[in-house]
Amino acid sequence: MVNQSVEHTKLSKLELRRIFSKRITRWPDGQPIVVFVLASNNPVHQRFSKEILKIFPYQLDRIWNKMIFSGVGSAPIVVKDLETLLAEVRNTPGAIGYGENIAEQGGLHVIEIIR
């Protein structure tokens, strides 16, 4: 899901992997991408990482830590639960997050994942 300010309606799994690994930091219109995630031990985060991104959660943690410690980037914003994640994405321009069984709602767009 993305904030309503994001014009994308479709993203490939590769694009999602690059966004969530913080390799893509801006949307095509130049707007900064703000990534929200659940904690690495959260079952929803683990399923999203493994099934959609095709990467283990510990591998994402390593990528984020390397960026932080080398000074070339920052980690995504970790939130405590799905409700908080939804609220943060809804209220943050350029934001992206994930969840299970999320429907279109005010302030949020559900994006289609293409191959």
Q: Which helix (H) or strand (E) holds 45?
A: helix 43-47
Domains delineated in the chain: 2-114 (3.40.190.10)
104 and 2 Cβ atoms separated by less than 8 Å: no
pTM of the model: 0.91
Residues 6+ positions from 31 with CB-CB distance below 8 Å: 5, 6, 93, 94
Would you give the DSSP letter of residue 50? I
pLDDT for res 107: 85
Q: Average pLDDT, stretch 44-67?
A: 93
pLDDT for res 68: 87
Residues 6+ positions from 76 with CB-CB distance below 8 Å: 20, 22, 35, 36, 37, 64
Q: Average pLDDT, stretch 37-57?
A: 95
CA distance 67 to 75: 7
**Residue 104 clears pLDDT 80, i.e. is over it:** no
pLDDT for res 3: 95
Q: 75: burial class by Cβ within 10 Å (0-12, 13-18, 19+)?
A: middle
pLDDT for res 47: 96
CA distance 3 to 88: 9
pLDDT digits (tens, 9 = 90+) for 9-38: 899 999 999 999 999 999 999 999 999 999
pLDDT digits (tens, 9 = 90+) for 74-97: 889 999 999 999 999 999 999 999
